[in-house]
Amino acid sequence: MTSLKLLVLCGLSLVSCDSFAQIDSTLLRRTSKDTTKMLLNMDAVYNRPFLSVGKSPVSVGGYVEANWQYFGTKGFTEGHQFQMRRLTLFVASGISKRIKFLSEIEFEDGTKEINIEFASVDFEFHPLLNFRGGVVMNPIGAFNQNHDGPKWEFIDRPVSATQLLPATWSNVGFGLYGKLYKENWVYAYEAYLTNGFDDKIISNAQNKTFLPATKQNRDRFEESFNGVPLVTAKVALRNKRIGELGLSYMGGVFNKFQSDGLILDKKRRLDVWAIDFNTVLPFFKTYIKTEWTLIHVDVPDTYGQQFGRKQAGGFADFIQPVARRSIFGFEQSVINAVCRLEYVDWNIGKFSETGGNIREDFFSIVPGVSWRPTSLTVIRLNYRYNWRTDILGNPPSKTAGFQFGFSSYF
């Protein structure tokens, strides 16, 4: 029912935008994007192409992505799959000069998942002191806040971001952020207290410690599972010539340790550290985007080793522009040769019974080509080959295939 209401609301807003357009399309204008090299991953939510109508303080935008894929595993295939991965709508409003509102609503796989990914009000007091509240994206790693499909050259989101970290991961809460510009440098921080995880991270159908399982908890925008805030904080610095480095932390209690004043368990913590770095190699002009995450979860000793206490993983994207030319009339279109390497280990440790390594890991290589007819649109052809090894380290399950699709802001 909630999904239906959201659909109707979004539909109405689209119709409403369209009716404005019918009045006088010249009133529509693109909000200017910051094209300086001083933007950080944490700025991604605001650095999006918005369309505003006349002098209305409200601007709208969004992106859409769809693809075809053909994968095979052990000689078997699911055949040709056409997927509508995402339709995302942004609505932003300048409530006053220093109070802004931004929201992002995402429809995944048609209407299989409908999520409010972001819905916050920002109060600007000073460049170093801004207050944000509402549904915020926890600033862990780089991808979580900078996840828009058109910004990436790969059809799949990084496995380490979606199956190790729970991107897109947002929660209700409040926090502060600020920035300091100094010559070629920009320094920034973000810190939030939000609702957090729950015990699904160690009790889920994945049969492993799996942070994204907590997203099944539909109540997390309404109430905290255990009443203990999740702390998320990030510091980032960027140099115009060198690139951006981000260090982030997210931690809190994930289990229900008491109810009605009765103690049920000890407080069990989850701690996540992430480092992200992106740069452009000076000679080759190769874009490199990387992120690495370490996770520690206080899994009960009684649970055995099926559920990992330590996890790690990350990805590295290499994007090499190979041509910039007019193609089919798209001036300034760019063709990139791209490659992603990614690795995730959901269970780092040794079996107490044998002393052997616990596996449960994943590695993939994703070469591809992308064509950007405009900066807002990307057409992508990816080939993926991945190896998934079970907890015991038995011969890996290999999957490979092609994907072709597009992602575009609108």
Partner 1 sequence: MTNRYPGIRIWTILFCLLTIGLIISCEGLFPKATPDDQILDGPVKGLNETENLLFLRGDKAFNGRVFTTENGLGPLFVATSCGSCHPGDGKGHPFTTLTRFGQVDENDNQYLSMGGPQLQNRAIPGFVPEQIPAGATFSKFTPPANTGLGFLDAVSDANILSWVDTNDANGDGISGVPNWISMKNYVTPRLGSVEQNGKYIGRFGKKGATYDLLQQTATAYNQDIGITSTYEYLDTHTGVQFDPEISNETINDVVFYLKTLKAPVPRTENSEIFSGKQLFTTIGCNKCHRPEWNTGTSSIAALSNKTFYPYTDLLLHDMGLELDNGYTEGSAKTSEWKTPPLWGLGLSKNSQGGLYYLLHDGRARSIQEAILMHGGEGLQSKMMFLSLSEDEKKKLILFLESL
CA distance 356 to 266: 29
Tell me how far apart the alpha carbons of residues 150 and 245 are, in angstroms, rounded to a whole number.
22
- The residues with which 72 forms a beta bridge, in sequence order, are 77, 400
| Among 13, 83, 204, 217, contact with partner 1 (rule: CB under 8 A) | 204
Q: Which of 28, 116, 176, 400 binds partner 1 (CB under 8 A)?
A: 400
Q: Does 68 bind partner 1 (CB under 8 A)?
A: no
CA-CA distance, 364 to 385, in Å (whole number)?
6
Taking the C-alpha atoms of residue 59 and residue 29, their distance in angstroms, rounded to an integer, is 9
Kindly state whether residue 351 participates in binding partner 1, applying the rule CB under 8 A. Answer: yes
* CA angle (375, 7, 48) in 5-degree steps: 20
- When asked if residue 75 is in the footprint of partner 1 (CB under 8 A), the reply is yes
Question: Can residue 73 be called a binding residue for partner 1 (CB under 8 A)?
Answer: yes
Mapped onto helix, strand or coil, the DSSP state of residue 239 is strand
CB of 330 to partner 1, least distance (A): 14
| Span of 51-59, 74-82, 108-116, 151-159 interacting with partner 1 by CB under 8 A | 74-82
Interacting residue with partner 1 among 337, 341, 365, 379 (CB under 8 A): 337
Distance of closest approach, residue 74 Cβ to partner 1, in angstroms = 6
Long-range contacts of 114-121 (CB under 8 A, 24+ apart): 114/2, 114/3, 114/6, 114/7, 115/168, 115/170, 116/170, 116/221, 117/88, 117/168, 117/170, 118/45, 118/170, 121/95
Establish if 283 lies at the interface with partner 1 (CB under 8 A): yes
Q: Which of residues 284-303 bind partner 1 (CB under 8 A)?
A: 284-286, 300, 302-303
If we measure between CA atoms, which residue out of 358, 367, 308, 313 comes closest to residue 336?
367
Of 55-63, 156-164, 165-173, 282-290, the segment contacting partner 1 by CB under 8 A is 282-290
Tell which one of 47, 206, 374, 375 touches partner 1 (CB under 8 A). 206
Distance in angstroms (rounded) separating the CA atoms of residues 163 and 270: 16
Choices 119-127, 181-189, 269-277, 348-356 (CB under 8 A): range interacting with partner 1? 348-356
The first and second tokens of residue 319, run together, are: 């994007």
The residue from 31, 239, 320, 374 that contacts partner 1 (CB under 8 A) is 320
Q: Is 391 in the site for partner 1 (CB under 8 A)?
A: yes
Measured over all CA atoms, what is the biggest interatomic distance in the chain, rounded to whole angstroms? 73
Q: Which is nearer to partner 1, 243 or 321 (CB)?
A: 321
Contact residues for partner 1, defined by CB under 8 A: 72-77, 199-200, 203-207, 255, 264-265, 268, 283-286, 300, 302-306, 320-325, 337, 351, 353-354, 356, 359, 367, 369, 383, 385, 390-395, 398-402
